[in-house]
Structures are given as C-alpha cells and as structure tokens.
A and B are shown apart, each in its own frame.
Chain A
Amino acid sequence: MQASTTSSKSDSSAKPVVSRRFDRIFLALSDVASFMAQFFKEVFVPPYEGKEIIRQCYEVGVRSLPLISLTGFITGIVFTNQSRPSLATFGATSWLPSLISIALVRALAPLVTALIASGRVGSNIGAELGSMRVTEQIEAMEVSGTNPFKFLVVSRVVATTFMIPTLAMFFILLGMLGSYVNVHQNEATSFMTFIDQFFSSISFLDINSTVVKSIVFGFTIGMVGSYKGYHSSKGTEGVGRAANSSVVTSMFLVFIEELLALQIINAIRAV
C-alpha cells in the first residue's frame, strides 16, 4: 500500500484555465471517494485496532459529554420556557411535554449535537492528524509496520460514528430533564405524568430516524476531519487550515444531510 503523499501527482500543464479547474474539482472528488473506499475496505479486515478505537471513543464521547449535557439541559429549560406563552394563549400549556419531546427528538438533539461535535471533535481530529502529517508521524508509523490509515483514520471514524448517536441520546435525556424542571416549577406536573406525555407523542420512526441521522452525522464528522488532517499541506499553517476547514465543511455537510433526511422522513411518513 502506498502512502497518499503521491496523490497530487497529476499532469495539468498546458490546459485552459477552466478545464484545469474542472480537473482539480474532479481530482478532489476522486480523492475523497478513494479515501472513503479505503475506509470501507479496511474497517472490516483484521487486525482490528480495538484498543485505539476504545481510546478514541473515550476522546470523542466522554470528553464531549459535559458540553453536550449542559447544552441539552439548557436547551430543555429555555425551549420550554419560551414555548409556554404561545401555548398559554390557547390554554394548552399541558401540551408542553409533547411539544418539547417532538422538538428535541426530531430536530434539536441530532442537529445541535452534530454541530457541537463538528466544532469540538471535527477540529480536534483535523488538527491532530494534520500535525501528525506535517511532522512526519504518519510516515513514521507506516515505516514501522503499522497501517496508519487503520490506526488513525478508521479508529476515529468508527468512534465518531458510534459516539455521536450516543451523545444525541444524552442530549435528549438532559433536554427532557431541563424541560421537566421548568414544567414542574410552573405547572407542578408530576414526574410520571411528564414522562408519560413526553413519550406518548413520539414514535419509533422518530427515534429510529434520529439514530440513523446521528450515525450519518457522526460518520461525516469523522471522515471530514480525518480527510482534511490526513491530507494537510506542509507547514504549521496547513494544520490550522485543516482544523478550520474540518469544522466548516462538516457543518455544511450536516446541514445538507439534515435537509435530505427531512425529505426522506416525510416521504416515509406519507406512506
């Protein structure tokens, strides 16, 4: 297996500018495609880097947990509090738990979790792999009999793919708790009643689509960060650029995927 350091070996000498730009875009796309293909080729083939995967799951999951939990809790409180007046006009404040559960499960939890993870985890992966590329650590790994793609990229992508859905679930739990605190203070709703109403308005489809969406988001964040870092250009500014464009690109892709998911889920609901 050859290192991807050769990827920029293309001949684009005497061509018109437009055609050269198309060449570049096409080359970038085929680069991304082969990066993903390599992931799927290597993720199922032993030896598995189990220890490294667990370490990355810890990095991604446990380290992000405080921020995600706090955001979820506060979102629950604020969203409940801000929704109350409009429901109160119809005398329907008892619908608050249902409203919150739909908002949290269907939209807020997967999206906000993915956006926070893009910022925290995506930039981290981009910077980490970028500086490993620049300081030749990736090549050092390769010449010492370790497949750096499997050790570094596969472990990170697997970790984000598993941990982002888990974090989204935590977001829902903490959001629910925040909402309950607010509802309990204002409407004196009991915990059991709250839970009952919270879960009565969401279906399996809602939970499933949130999990599937989060898996896709997690995969995206891991892939983008790894790709940007692994292909980081030489020099310290290359590392910064890798970190920065990891965040921007994965946020952008998360939004696109969210819109696509909306269409798909609506189509399923319509059946």
Chain B
Amino acid sequence: MNPKQPRYNDQKEGVITIRNLKISFGDLHVLRGVDLDLYQGENLVVLGRSGTGKSVLIKIISGLLEPDEGTVNVLGQDVSQLNSRELDALRLKIGFSFQSSALYDSMTVRENLEFPLIRNVRNLSRAEINKAVEEALEDVGLSQTINQMPSELSGGQRKRIGIARTLILKPEIMLYDEPTAGLDPITSNEINNLINEVQERHNTSSIIITHDLTCAKTVGDRIAMLLDGRFERQGTFEEIFEDPNDERVKQFYEYNFID
C-alpha cells in the first residue's frame, strides 16, 4: 500500500503548539519534555509503544489531565490558563474519539449524537437537531443504526458512531485515540478512510494516536514517534522508517508491520 500524499499547508499555521511538556505519576516519568506542533489541515500520527503516554498526551491537550510542567497552546489559547467555562468552550472545538468509543450505553445512537448538541447549542428546534443527527450519521455511513443501542453495534460501528458524535459539533481539531485498535484489517481500513474523509471534507487538523503502522501510513501526513517520553523522530513515514538507524524505531517497524 502506498503512503498518502502529504497535505502540507504552505503557511504552516500552527493549531496546537506544545513546548517542554512534562508529567509523571509518582515515580513514573511518562512525558519528559515533549515538543510538538500540529499544523492547520494536517493529519499528524503519534506512534509509540503501549504505555508510553500517548493517551496521556491528548488528555492533557483537552484539559482532562494537568501537566507538571510545560505549555499547551490550542487555537491560540494556553490550556492551563483557562477557567472552566473557557475550557468548555475550547473543548467544543476539539473532537475526541476515545479508544473504547465511549458511547453512553444507556442511550440510543440518536440520543448519543444529540447529547453534545442539546447540551451546548441553545434554542435548536427539533427539526434542526434531527437534521444534524442524520447528517452526522450519513457522514460515517451508519444511518440505519439510529434507533439502536450501543450494545447492539459491532466494534467498528461503535467507533464510527463515536466519531460521528464528535463531528456533530463541527470541531476544528480531531484527536483519535487508537482508532483501529481491536478491529479487523478490513474494518481498520474503513476507519482509516473515514479519518481521511473527515480531514478532506471538514478541513480538520487531527492527531491520530496509534501503534498500527498501516494506519500511520494510510492517514498520516506526518509522523511523530514518542520514544522514552520525547518526540525524538518526526517526519514523513519514509523519513522515519526508510533508514531506521535508531534501534528502537527498527524494532517497532519489524515487530509491528506486515506490508
């Protein structure tokens, strides 16, 4: 499979800027000085082994965790300086696709999709809500599931409904946590295509966390590799893996990738 043609923005306008980010849990130093930029309109893949702090990183970006040190600037705002109302407002511009999909399992698909809409946008008519829900479901190709419960859906469907639920607020940034984890190759490929479609259709800037190199190759305009709590390698897929003189990168490639 050929890697995708990188979509670089000429001006390289940064939407997320992270500098010297550090966080530890007790004695466990997870992030040890992370620098990372996400540019407008690009898909940035964050690669790394399990437990290296990839999820922690995007939870810090969306203000779910507080870093010990460093700055996170999202759409021109320093996340740590925001009060709770400002943080809520910023979060509406960030779509978060959770690893476990995080569908509310006491609600139907329709209620799941309505939830962020009803709670954040005032004075919507019933017709407007229905239209938005139907559009978002169409976006992910799952219109027929509208009245089902999450427990009735397959893993790939849950993932797509989770993505639809975040798309309903038309976010400028998407954060995907292991979008293909636990899915079969065909379903994974569908999710990868969906990620690319979201990028093209809504011109979103996305961070995609994964340890799946097929996913990285298919969706990533740029790859950043999290090694020992830092991003030591950044670049296109080839730049990183063509000549992996770093032993850790080589290992990652050999053990994870079947072309």
Contact = CB atoms under 8 A, between A and B. Distances in A.
B100 A135 contact: yes
Interface stretch (B86-94, B183-191, B213-221): B86-94
Contacts of B165: 144
B98 A1 contact: no
A145 B26 contact: no
A136 B27 contact: no
A124 to B, nearest CB: 12
Interface in A113-157: 128, 131-132, 134-137, 139-146
A144 B115 contact: yes
Contacts, number: 73
Contacts of B96: 139-140, 143
A137 B96 CA distance: 11
Interface of B: 25-27, 59, 62-66, 84, 88, 91-92, 94, 96, 98-106, 115-116, 119-120, 165-166, 169
A203 interface: no
Contacts of B106: 128
11 contacts: A3-B64, A131-B105, A137-B105, A139-B59, A139-B102, A143-B91, A144-B115, A144-B120, A144-B166, A144-B169, A145-B116
Nearest to A12: B26
Please list the 6 inter-chain residue pairs (A to B) with the smallest Cβ-Cβ separation, ordered nearest first. Answer: A140-B102, A144-B116, A136-B102, A136-B98, A135-B100, A145-B88
B102 A8 contact: no
A3 to B, nearest CB: 5
B25 A145 contact: no
Contact of A136 (B66, B88, B99, B120): B99
B26 A6 contact: no
A137 B62 CA distance: 15
